[in-house]
Amino acid sequence: MLLTGALTIQAEDYPYLTFETADGTKTSVDVSALPVSLTFSNGTLVVGGQTFTLASLSKMYFSASNETTAIQTLDVSDLSEDAEFYDLQGRKVNRAQMRRGIYVVKTNNRTYKVNMP
């Protein structure tokens, strides 16, 4: 019983659960947004709206700050028509409005922070 209390107090000091893949990419999920359980299915882990391939995960840990990395170049033509695009102010934009810069792209399976060249 004492150990459980200590773990709970310590977890409160770390509001993010960070996932690191083999290529060094980090994705942090706000612990307060976590579901009651993590979902494992067909070699994937789904947590907080993020999907991870288990084979590519190198570690996961609690962290004090959002450690999300990996601004990537994304070929917009590879995305499905239902992908949603947002600028850094949170305004939804369409593909025709996108210019060079950083955007958030939301698909059915994942959310990306991308650098449009």
Walk me through the domains of the chain, giving residue ranges and CATH numbers: 2-63 (2.30.30), 76-116 (no CATH)
Question: Strand locations in 1-117, DSSP E?
Answer: 16-21, 26-30, 39-41, 44-47, 50-53, 57-63, 84-86, 92-93, 101-106, 111-116
pTM score of the predicted model: 0.51
Per-residue confidence of the chain (117 residues) as pLDDT tens digits? 444 444 444 566 788 888 988 878 888 888 775 555 678 889 988 887 778 889 989 999 988 888 887 655 566 666 777 888 898 888 999 888 888 888 888 887 677 777 777
Using an 8 Å Cβ cutoff, are 12 and 61 in contact?
no
